[in-house]
Amino acid sequence: MGTTDIHGWLLPHDYYTAEPTAYGLSRLAPSIDSIRSAHPGRTALVDSGDLLQGNPLAFVYSELQPGEVHPVVHAMNLLEYDAAAIGNHEFNFGIEHLAKAMAAAKFPFLSANTFVHATVEHAYRPYTVIERRVDGRVLRIGIAGATPPGVHVWDRDHVEGRLQFRDIVESMRPVVAQMREEGADLVVVAAHSGLEGTSYDTLSTGLAPENVVSRLAREIPEIDVIFMGHTHGELADSTIDGTLVLQARNWARSLAVAEIHLAAAEGGEWRVISKRGQIVRPDTARDSERLQAELAPAHRRTMEFVNRPIGTSTARWSATDARVRDTPIIDFVNEVQRTVAGTDLSATSAFNLSAVIPQGPVTVADVARLYIYDNNTLKAVRITGEQLRAYLEKSAEYYLPCPGSRCERLTNPAVPGYNFDIISGVDYTLDLTKPVGRRVTRLERNGQPVRHSETFTLALNNYRQGGGGGFSMLADAPVVYDGDESIRDLLTREIERRGTISPEAYFRRNWEIVPQALAERASAEQNQPDAPR
């Protein structure tokens, strides 16, 4: 059985909306228990990574209560997980934070491709071999983990000079061979990686690809089952060159189950007769009373945190159209970033189009909905006008070209919404009838066209500063500000400092999409879910 990308979602409660949900690990627990009851002593449970970060509950225990056992680890201990892969978000709060979580876990955290910097020494356990007794005989199951090399980009500040994340496939070859040498009858890989594709520029970063499960299955036939993750998708009963590949949905929305039939071969070895996969969804009418009771203190603390009032607003601000037109709610983020970093320009994304700053009392939860990435910190870099234009063109790839204003679809399903950045401090126009790479038809500062040779300081988050999302033009830009401050915290403090906020205090219309009719059409396409980061 496998879960992945839990991201702190333990209980069926949305801390952003204060509404009940149909998912969460406590909702999935009865399904896990049922499968174990049906196959006593013949099951194993793994997670494919990204479990310690992602929602307010995870934030409270990662940032505000770091000395206590992380509730996700506590829940996984209760459910008796056998192993977990180390995902990229495990590093969001630093190597030491991960070490504390690992110390409290009754299961190993695994990564076959993470090494101590400039050595051949694994930084974490690459694999584990567990035993089950089947028909009176011992069955040995080898489980290995894999971490996306993009951690070098996404959490460079935490890992640079300390860890190296190498090619998953090449690192996994000797690990699989070692597990077989140690007598593993079955080999399972929990890979925090998708089938194929990469969100960063492998040439400019020098990093190995991000999503390699297809390669892993094709090139290492000794692997029996791969539980993959990272992409927040779902996959059941897919076979690649004989290897069963499955993926559970993120946030404990489903459980991936691999059913393997074995027979005893001559000489005492086990032989795989058949493999099949399925996706099991939680019974929304059932919940784990045990997990509910054990997690109640963590839930109460999280509710106290998110419901804390921090100020008031004179009006309702919405992010609904933030990717098609300039909005006060995004200007609020950019203005805070620009003021704190003391820069000419600022860039941010509309991470959550359902975000709202309500009229009246504003709480921590409202800010968390607006800026969903609690691990993003504020940085600033020095860039040229040429880099600025390249940045905007890369951002505009969120939209498909629409020559002559005739096209079936405007938003590019291959580009997540968080890769459409909005920049304040310059005035610009994006013409969607133009080809990719030539959409920026106006780029001015103080009424004058921006020259390639001009230089500017730009405030942005650490993910983008490292080139995350494929913005390689920023990766080597000189850093001029790094206060190691959470952007979400800065937004909270701005509201607390002012007491009362209003849209007009931040709003300045500085960018547009043309033709206007295409902007209106794009607004209707904004319901697609974002890919994960």
Task: State whether 279 and 343 are in the same domain.
Answer: no
pLDDT confidence band for 484 (50 / 70 / 90) = confident
The CB-based long-range contact list for 399-404 (8 Å cut-off, 24+ gap) reads 399/430, 399/432, 399/439, 399/513, 399/522, 401/432, 401/433, 401/434, 401/435, 401/436, 402/432, 402/433, 402/518, 403/433, 403/435, 404/433
Angular region, 97: left φ>0, alpha ψ -120 to 50, beta rest: alpha
Task: State whether 325 and 404 are in the same domain.
Answer: yes
Task: State whether 325 and 292 are in the same domain.
Answer: no
- What is the distance between the alpha carbons of residues 290 and 191, in angstroms, rounded to a whole number? 29
* 108 Cβ neighbours under 8 A, 6+ residues apart: 83, 84, 102, 125, 128
Q: Is pLDDT above 90 for 264?
A: no
Section 504-526 average pLDDT: 88
Task: State whether 277 and 321 are in the same domain.
Answer: no
Q: What residues does 146 pair with on adjacent strands?
A: 191
Give residue 518's pLDDT.
87
Helix (H, G, I), strand (E, B) or coil at 111: coil
**For residue 531, is it within any domain?**
no
DSSP string, 311-352: EEESS-EE-TTTTTS--HHHHHHHHHHHHHHT-SEEEEE---
Task: State whether 293 and 319 are in the same domain.
Answer: no
Give residue 198's pLDDT.
87
**For residue 344, is it within any domain?**
yes
Q: Is pLDDT above 70 for 530?
A: no
Structural domain including 216 reads 2-302
Section 405-422 average pLDDT: 89
CATH number of domain containing 193: 3.60.21.10
pLDDT confidence band for 230 (50 / 70 / 90) = very high
Helix (H, G, I), strand (E, B) or coil at 377: strand
- What is the distance between the alpha carbons of residues 160 and 475, in angstroms, rounded to a whole number? 14
Give residue 483's pLDDT.
84
- What is the distance between the alpha carbons of residues 151 and 115, in angstroms, rounded to a whole number? 12
Q: State the CB neighbour count (10 A cutoff) for residue 517.
A: 10
Give residue 332's pLDDT.
99
Q: Is pLDDT above 90 for 343?
A: yes
Q: What residues does 378 pair with on adjacent strands?
A: 461
pLDDT confidence band for 419 (50 / 70 / 90) = very high
**For residue 532, is it within any domain?**
no
Q: Is pLDDT above 90 for 216?
A: yes
pLDDT confidence band for 205 (50 / 70 / 90) = confident
**For residue 277, is it within any domain?**
yes
Give residue 533's pLDDT.
61
Task: State whether 212 and 139 are in the same domain.
Answer: yes
Per-residue pLDDT tens over the stretch 134-192: 888 999 999 999 999 999 989 988 999 999 999 999 999 999 999 999 999 999 999 99
Q: What are phi and psi of 338, to 5 degrees?
A: -65, -40
Distance of CA 220 to the CA centre of its chain: 27
- What is the distance between the alpha carbons of residues 211 and 231, in angstroms, rounded to a whole number? 9
Give residue 202's pLDDT.
86
Packing angle, helices 71-78 and 289-306, rounded to 10: 170
Domains of the chain: total: 2
CATH number of domain containing 427: 3.90.780.10
Distances (CA, A) of 87 to 91, 150, 261, 320, 322: 8, 10, 30, 31, 30
Q: Is pLDDT above 70 for 528?
A: no
Q: Is pLDDT above 60 for 532?
A: no
Q: Domain boundary at 251, 277, 302, which? A: 302
- pTM for this predicted structure: 0.85
CB 88 within 8 A of CB 50: yes
Give residue 389's pLDDT.
98
Give residue 262's pLDDT.
94
Task: State whether 324 and 391 are in the same domain.
Answer: yes
**For residue 365, is it within any domain?**
yes
- The percent of residues above 90 in pLDDT, for the chain, comes to 83
The sign of the CA dihedral 74, 76, 80, 86 is: negative
Give residue 422's pLDDT.
98
Task: State whether 292 and 316 are in the same domain.
Answer: no
- What is the distance between the alpha carbons of residues 533 and 351, in angstroms, rounded to a whole number? 11
Q: Domain boundary at 248, 271, 302, which? A: 302
Task: State whether 380 and 294 are in the same domain.
Answer: no
How many residues does the structure list for the chain? 533
Section 71-82 average pLDDT: 98
Q: Is pLDDT above 80 for 531?
A: no
**For residue 335, is it within any domain?**
yes
CB 316 within 8 A of CB 329: no
- Check residues 26 and 198 and name the one with the higher pLDDT: 26
Q: What residues does 85 pair with on adjacent strands?
A: 110
Give residue 17's pLDDT.
82
**For residue 7, is it within any domain?**
yes
pLDDT confidence band for 461 (50 / 70 / 90) = very high
Least trusted range by pLDDT, from 62-66, 81-85, 367-371, 469-473: 62-66
Amino acid occupying residue 520: E
* 525 Cβ neighbours under 8 A, 6+ residues apart: 409, 410, 411
**For residue 110, is it within any domain?**
yes
Q: Is pLDDT above 60 for 346?
A: yes
Task: State whether 467 and 378 are in the same domain.
Answer: yes
Task: State whether 239 and 382 are in the same domain.
Answer: no
Q: What residues does 307 pair with on adjacent strands?
A: none
Q: Domain boundary at 302, 324, 346, which? A: 302
Give residue 122's pLDDT.
98
Q: Is the peptide bond before 515 cis (omega within 30 degrees of 0)?
A: yes
Task: State whether 18 and 134 are in the same domain.
Answer: yes
